[in-house]
Amino acid sequence: MSCAEGRRGAGCGRGGGKLRGAGKVRRPSLNDSLEGDIRAFLIDEDQLHTYDDLTKVNPVTPTTVLKCLQARYRVKVFYTHAGCTLVALNPFQPIPHLYSLDVMKEYHCAPQPQEFKPHIFIVAEEAYRNVQGQVEPVDQSLVVSGESGAGKTWTSRCLMKYYATVAASSSASSSASSSASSSSSAVKSQTTVERIERRVLDSNPIMEAFGNAGTLRNNNSSRFGKYIQLQLDRSQLLVGASVQTYLLEKTRVSWQTANERNFHIFYQMMKGASDEQRKKWRMSQEQSFAWLPNAEKSVEEDCFEETVEAMVHLGIHAERQGQIFRILAGILQLGNVNFSSVDESQPCELEEQSKVFLQRAAELLCVPVEELQTCLRVRMLKAGKQSVLKPCSQAECSVRRDCLAKVIYAQLFDWLVTFINSSICADDSTWRNFIGLLDVYGFECFQMNNLEQLCINYANEKLQQHFVAHYLRAQQEEYVLEGLEWSFVKYRDNQSCLDLIEGSPTGVFSLLNEECRLNRASDAKTFRVRLQKQLSDNANIRWDKFSKEPHFIVTHYAGKVRYQIEGMMEKNKDPVPPELIDLLQESDNLLLHQIFTDKDAENPTTKGLSKVTVVSKFKNSLESLMKILHTTTPHYTRCIKPNPDCKPLTFKKEEVITQLAACGIVETIHISAAGFPIRIPFQGFLQRYGPISKSSLFKSWPHGADVEADVLRPAVDDLLKVVLRNQPPDPSPQPDTEPHSSLVHCGRTKVFLTQSMLELLEDQRKTILSQKAFSIQCCWRRYQQRRRLARGRAATQIQAVVRSWLVRKQLQRWHQAATVIQTSWRMWTALMNALAEAELDDTEDLVVEDTALLNAAVMDGGSVQLSTFQEPVMVRGWPVGLALASAPSITVSLTATGFQKMMSVMASLAPSSRRGGYKVKTNQYTQELASIRAQPRGSVKLHYRRSPLLHADKHPDLKRDGVTGFNQILLEKTL
């Protein structure tokens, strides 16, 4: 019977045994009602796909859970909550819209992502918010488990993409909200986050190309385990990452089971390399390689360009890439080298074609072909201080060839992991917390199972035990310690299986290591006898008495697996001949030389034969991983493989129910549905939900950090009474039980809540906070309005005061200016009057007898001849020389030279009248002007009825009535 069939039979026996046994025992009071409930639940199949959480299924049985998952899978709903875990069914086909960027943002920006449909992004967001919202942030771990082909690698890839996207969006939001002064630092931070995001995502294609392969159960099976730590700073931004790997299946390089493939990178090189690259790597189109079976099969992962692009983004330059691909091409050439032996005393011979392959391998690995051939055909034995060369048999030559290929590939893989960590890992001072993603190989059961499958299944047993210890066992024990009336739900504990494998001194690993350390040839039959002798009392191991091959059968939590003992000791020893290491250290390939030189420097005492066995190394690394998981808050995702053939949207009941029983999904649902998944200490409960209670107990309870639970208990009871006051009573109350005990239970130090009770508390808290917020908003708005009104009044008063002050100052300035103008005008007017009076009234009269004649002449408007004066006389007139505006002509003949000044002014002004121009003549100067201020012998006083100030107009109008402006006013005042 095959392993898969055995597991299905065992699963069916466990799933259906209860029903058959119930029919024999005949318990109508219990089983008949249970069957009736199941039939009543399953009668409405159209509604089965609506159960987002399997804890709502009633009753919870393998049949009802299976039917719900099948109904949801039929309508293409692949995620379902199962208490504290998330069940993910593999659709075996691309669903792009389910993991788009818009969906990521929708779950990340949602206030309550749990209200959305079940999705892997809900688990990711819950872990992210736990780091973000805790007072003391706790590191988170996302444990993705399941069988090979269940979709663990794809789930881990989606989680990494989600966190990279969330970190980038958070950085962009913080950059957008930053001030202008810090814009340069914000842009720099955004660039750093995007660079880390790109490198973290680019590490996936490289790790999958070098660490994944196609198996019978999965086209992209992880052949190594990895734990990725996404490092977050205090702002929960992604600043780096680190990768830890566990047990690479390096034997796959040189040996593959029928219908399986080698690592993806070899097929990528074969299908994606250019002609020039093929020429460099000595890989022609028509050449076939013994270590590349099923090369004609194409899978989605055979994308060479994507791997090369990821290398470039991580900083692996073209020269280093060339060195890597030459090493890989050399490994493929080694696989075509075959040996033949005629005489065992002589070294094995190479076939003609194998010599060509060996020559190519030596050229690609950059080592001398003669030394390479010698290391493969001859081994060196040390006897004291002497070395003895001994020819190897044909089988030994093949083993040494395979060993060379495996050690090169394993060291190259380790170098890649180290390089990736150096590219994406942040300094310890820059990150504070991390979110870990665990992606390990799933439970495996093949026709031929050896040491690799034993280690892989052991790792899955450890993860299952972690789940059992953390949830199934610890949660129920906590109920008892807190005083809850709890009847334990039975579950499958795999601790006995772990004791069988890792027990000391009588465990499979211990006996295997002891067998390898004995200085004798390993014998499979002897080891089987020893296992039977030491471990016969353990119920998890047995032997097939009718099988001639040495083997042992282990009953794992997921089923029974038969392991072949032949070759197990050699694989555990993992010996590497020292002459091969020396040869590789002398290689001219810089990368190959660096890898083995650094390895020898790190482990100088382990050169040649390994001192630490494979199982010891794997066990130690797995224990360190479990320590990390125990210090973090775990989040479980159970990946389910719906059919063994990887067909899209095909649901096989037998396959699914076996996996559900193996990973304890039904038990998890039972505990989650019957128990209290939310547990909050008293102090934290009061701090969050205390505002709901209005009693004096809440206001007076001590708020210190070290308050005893007995002191806080009354306040917690009072708060719960307030919350449950408006809830309907239990229709079937039990005596001596607390009311609403199905929703909440108050333990000794913690409050235990169901999900519905938590929702009720959150709703009431939200209502109270909304009311308080509304009150605060009202008070704040009232304060703002009053403050705004007071500011308006104050501003109006200030404006009035300032305006009045400005008006007063303006009036004062106007008054001062008016006073100055008046004073100046009065002074000027007085001065002008004084000058006029002095010139007109204070002058000495001329000859009396001549005055009348002069005035008559002036009054008549005729010419005035002053040439009769023999001597200069004083002529005094008004300022600026009063022109005789009304006289048609005036002839002035004076001998006095002082009069020239006044006459020159009058001539320059060119006065004119309505009757004609003035004519001025002097006695001394025929064509010159004489001043009006000349002093003749007697005084001359001129009086006119009309104003003589026509000189105010520079060019007066010669019309009859052309006197205008200021002259007209003066004329009106004068006449």
Q: In whole angstroms, what is the distance from residue 375 CA to residue 385 CA? A: 20
Q: Which of 442, 559, 664, 881 is catalytic?
A: 442
Catalytic residue among 219, 221, 336, 587: 221
Rounded distance between C-alpha atoms, residue 281 and residue 288, angstroms: 14
Asked if residues 58 and 41 have their Cβ atoms less than 8 Å apart, the reply is: yes
541-542 β-sheet, strand order = 541-542, 551-556, 559-564
Single out the residue of 852, 854, 857 nearest to residue 875, CA to CA: 854
Determine whether 301 is an active site residue: no
Compute the distance between CA of residue 267 and CA of residue 456 in angstroms, rounded to an integer: 25
What is the distance between the alpha carbons of residues 400 and 616, in angstroms, rounded to a whole number? 23
User: What's the gap between Cα 14 and its chain centre?
Assistant: 45
What count of other Cβ atoms lies within 10 Å of the Cβ of residue 153? 26
Q: Which of 326, 332, 323 is nearest to 254 (CA)?
A: 332
Q: How far apart are the C-alpha atoms of 390 and 381, rounded to whole Å?
A: 7
Annotated catalytic residue 423: no
* Residue 444 known to be catalytic: yes
Cα separation, 957 vs 682, whole angstroms: 112
* 442 flagged as catalytic: yes
- The single residue of 153, 449, 754, 886 carrying the catalytic annotation is 153
Cα dihedral 271→275→281→284 (10° resolution): 70
d(CA 755, CA 676) in angstroms, rounded, equals: 8
| Residue of 148, 189, 589, 643 marked active site | 148
DSSP letter, residue 253: G
CA–CA separation, 744 vs 722, rounded Å?
13
The tokens describing 608, both together, are 């040649």
504 tagged catalytic: no
Rounded to whole angstroms, the Cα distance separating 866 from 686 reads 127
Q: Which of 130, 155, 203, 222 is catalytic?
A: 222
Q: List the catalytic residue out of 11, 146, 149, 559.
A: 149
CA distances from 232 to 132, 236, 240, 557, 608 (A): 10, 5, 7, 35, 41
φ, ψ at 561 (rounded to 5°):
-130, 135
User: Of 208, 444, 452, 667, which residue is the catalytic one?
Assistant: 444
222 is a catalytic site residue: yes
Phi, psi torsion values for 936, nearest 5 degrees: -75, -170
Q: How far apart are CA 32 and CA 393, in angstroms?
A: 70
- The Cβ of residue 772 has, within 10 Å, a number of other Cβ atoms equal to 11
CA distances from 856 to 45, 900, 912 (A): 144, 25, 22
CA–CA dist 762, 132 (Å, integer): 19
| CA nearest to 760, candidates 678, 655, 637 | 678
**How many other C-beta atoms lie within 10 A of the C-beta of residue 746?**
20
d(Cα 544, Cα 549) in Å, to the nearest integer? 9
DSSP string of 215-259, one letter each residue? -SS-TTEESSEEEEEEEE-TT--EEEEEEEEE---GGGGT---TT
Angle between helices 682-689 and 755-840 (to 10 degrees): 50
- Among all residues, which ones are annotated catalytic? 148-149, 153, 218, 221-222, 442, 444
